[in-house]
A and B are shown apart, each in its own frame.
Chain A
Amino acid sequence: MSAFEPVLTRIVGIENSHTLSVYEGQGGYQALRRGFQLDPDTVIEHVKNSNLRGRGGAGFPTGVKWGFLPSQEQSPGPRYLVCNADESEPGTFKDRVILRHNPHLLIEGCLLSCWALRANHCFIFIRGEYASEAKIVERAIAEAREAGYLGRNVLGSGFDIEVTVHRSGGAYICGEETALLECLEGKRGYPRIRPPFPAVVGLYGRPTVINNVETLACVPSIIERGGEWFTSLGPENNTGPKLYAVSGHVERPGTYELPMGIPLAELIEEHCGGIWRGRKLKAVMPGGSSTPVLTAEEALAVNMDYDSLAKAGSMFGSAAVIVMDETVDMVQVAFNLIRFYHHESCGQCTPCREGCGWLEKIMKRYTEGRGSAGDAALVLDICDNIAFKTICPLGDAARMPLEALITKYRAEFDARIAPSTFAGGGGGR
C-alpha cells in the first residue's frame, strides 16, 4: 500500500483550520461545486460505488441506507438529513476532532448529502456536553451561509438547504437513531419500535436519513476523487480513511487517521507508542465499550476492520480502541461498564432496565469479594434474557462486553467468590 495521506484530518494542525478561509484555501467546497453540477442520483451512485460503510458503529453501507428513502413521487413533502454527532460510546472521541478542527468538511458533506437526498433541512445532533464544539459548528454554518453555500438557492442551483445544530441534554441512548429523533422532537429519548424505519417514517413522521459525522465527512472526498479511489484504501468491503480513537494505557492516546484494515498491533505499537510505563498489554476493547474484549494474544493478531473483527468474535464498532495494561482488574472493568449501561438504560424494556440493574449488583458484589459460586452462571443467564429481547441495541451493548469479560477472565471473577459460598472448597457441600 502506498503512503496513506489523511483525508478527514488533512488540515487539522493548520492554524484556524476551523475557519472558512483556511478550509477554502485548502481546496474546501470544491466538491460541493462539483456535486451541484451532477444530478442528485449521480451523487448517490458515487457514494454507492465507494462502498462507504457507516462510521457510527454498525458499518451499514451508506449508499444502501440512502436507497431506502422513498422517491419524491412516492412520498411528496419534506424529508430530512440528520447528522449523528451524539458521540457517547465510552472510548469514542473521534468525531470531536472533526467538529472542533474541520467543521466545514462536515458541513460540506451534509450539503452534498442533502443535495443527493433532496432534503432541504439538515440537523446536526450534538451531544449536550460538546457545548464548545456546538458553538464552533454554528459559527462555521454562519460563515458558510454568508458565502452562499447554504441557505436559499445554493450556488445558483435553485435548491435551498438549512442546517441547524441541535444540542442534546446528555443521554447515551440518543446515539441510537430513533431515540435521537425523539430528542430532536423535544421528547424523552425513548427508542422507537422498527419497522417503520426512519428512512420511511422518521423525523416528524417524514422520510429521514441519519448518518454519523465521520460518514458524512467522507462524502466530499468521494465526490472529488470518485468511488473507486475510496475502495482502494484497505481490504475489500472495508475501505476508506478511518479515524481510530485510542484511549487507556498507551503512551500516546488520541485520534489517528489511517486506512481501514491496519493491524491493531501496528496501531498500538507504532502510532500510539506502545503500552505506557513499559508494561505489558493485557486486553483491548477494539470498537468501543460495547464490543467484546480481546485478550492480548487475540488483539495482537487482528486487523482493524469490520470483517476481521467480526471473525475474531468482536466488533469494529466506532473504532474506539480501549487499551488495558497488565495491572488492570477485569472485575473492576466489568463493574464500571455495567454501571454505565444501567445508568444509561432508558427504562422502556424490562430485560434491559432490570437486567442491567441486576448485573450491576452482581458485579458490585464481585468487586467487594462477595461473589457467589453461582454468580457466573447467573450473569450469563441474565445476559441471555437480555439478548435480542429489547426495542433497541442498548441491552445487547450492555451484555456483550460482560459475557466476553466473564468468559475470558473467569479466574479473576472466581477469585472474588466469598469463601463461605465457594462450592469447590473443603466445606462447601
Chain B
Amino acid sequence: MFSDEIIREIDDIIARYPVPRSGLIPFLHVIQREQGWISPEAQTWAAERVGISPAEVAGVVTFYTMFNTRPVGRYLLQLCRTISCKLRGSREIRNHLEQALSIKPGETSADGLFTMMEVECLGACGTAPAMMINEDYHENLTTERVDEILAACRRDAGTEVER
C-alpha cells in the first residue's frame, strides 16, 4: 500500500513514542499527505501497524476533523468561518470562492482540482480572514488575493499534467 520510504517515515514516527499507538494520529497525516484521504484500506493497514482494531482507528479518523474520510480534490480549501475571520469578511471570501469554483462548501469542482470546506478557527485570527490549502496557510485574504491563489493552483496543476 505504501512505498518503503513512506513506511520508514511512519515507523520513525511510531518509534518516537513509548507506546506505538501514540504515533497513530501523527502518521495518519503522512497517509493523508500521500493519498489525500484515509481510506478504509488505509485504516486497516494503520490498525495492524500499531496493533489495534480497525474500528478503533475508524473512531480516531472520524473524531479529528482534519482527516478526510472520502477523496477530495487536489487542492483542499479550508476556509475559517469562526468569529475573528467572520468579523473580517470570511463570508465575502466564501461567496467569492463559491462563484469562482461553482461549488458550495463540501463540494468538489467539476475538474476535480478543488474541494472547498468551511472549518472552525484556524488560529490565525490576527491575519483574518484565513484559509488552509492542503497544509499551507493563506492569510489576510481579499477577493483579489483569492483569485491569484486559485490561478497559481491551476498553473501548478497544469504544469504537472504536462510533465
Residues on A facing B (Cβ under 8 Å): 78, 87-93, 96, 121, 127-132, 164, 166-172, 183-189, 204, 245-249, 253-255, 285, 289, 320, 322, 324, 328, 332-333, 336-337, 340, 343-344, 346
Contacts and interface: CB of A to CB of B under 8 A. Distances in A.
Interface centre among A93, A249, A322 (most CB of B within 10 A): A93
Interface in B121-155: 121-128, 132, 135-137
Nearest to B125: A247
Interface centre among A92, A171, A186, A332 (most CB of B within 10 A): A186
Contacts of B63: 169, 171, 188-189, 346
Contacts of B21: 185-187
Contacts of B126: 93, 245-247, 253-255
Contacts of A127: 123
Contact of B83 (A91, A129, A185): A91
Given A128-B64, A167-B26, A253-B126, A340 B121 contact: yes
A204 B26 CA distance: 17
Contact of B125 (A91, A204, A328, A332): A91
A12 to B, nearest CB: 14
B73 to A, nearest CB: 18
Contact of B82 (A90, A132, A324, A346): A90
A169 B84 contact: no
Nearest to A135: B135
B127 A253 contact: yes
B36 interface: no
B25 interface: yes
Nearest to B122: A129
A198 to B, nearest CB: 16
Nearest to B63: A188
B125 A249 contact: no
Given A166-B22, A245-B125, A248-B88, 10 more contacts: A90-B82, A93-B125, A132-B136, A164-B16, A170-B67, A185-B19, A246-B126, A247-B128, A320-B125, A346-B63
B47 to A, nearest CB: 11
Interface in B45-102: 50, 52, 56, 59-60, 63-67, 81-84, 86-88
Contacts of B25: 128, 166-169, 183, 186
Contacts of B65: 169-171
Nearest to B124: A93
Nearest to B28: A169
Contacts of A90: 82-84, 120-121, 125
Contact of A204 (B18, B52, B132): B18
Contact of B26 (A88, A166, A246, A340): A166
A184 B22 contact: yes
A400 to B, nearest CB: 14
Contacts of A340: 82-83, 120-121
B135 A132 contact: yes
Contacts of A204: 18-19
Contact of A132 (B17, B18, B122, B137): B137
Contacts of A92: 123, 125
Contacts of A131: 29, 135-136
Contact of A248 (B28, B87, B122, B135): B87
A328 B137 CA distance: 27
B49 to A, nearest CB: 11
Interface centre among B50, B64, B127 (most CB of A within 10 A): B64
B128 A88 contact: no
Interface centre among B18, B66, B83 (most CB of A within 10 A): B83
A145 to B, nearest CB: 13
Interface residues of B, number: 43
A245 B124 CA distance: 10
28 contacts: A88-B123, A90-B121, A91-B125, A93-B123, A93-B125, A93-B126, A127-B123, A129-B122, A130-B123, A131-B136, A132-B137, A166-B22, A166-B25, A167-B26, A169-B29, A169-B65, A169-B67, A171-B64, A186-B52, A187-B21, A249-B87, A254-B127, A322-B84, A332-B86, A333-B83, A336-B81, A336-B82, A346-B63
Nearest to B84: A247
A164 B17 CA distance: 8
Interface centre among A164, A169, A320 (most CB of B within 10 A): A169
B24 interface: yes
A33 B24 CA distance: 35
A85 to B, nearest CB: 10
A246 B87 CA distance: 13
B22 A324 contact: no
Contact of A129 (B16, B66, B67, B84): B66
A166 B24 CA distance: 10
A79 B125 CA distance: 35
Nearest to B134: A131
Contacts of A184: 22
Contacts of B29: 128, 131, 167, 169
Contacts of B87: 247-249, 322, 324, 328
A289 B123 contact: no
A14 B87 CA distance: 31
Given A90-B121, A168-B64, A336 B86 contact: yes
B154 to A, nearest CB: 23
Nearest to A250: B126
B109 to A, nearest CB: 23
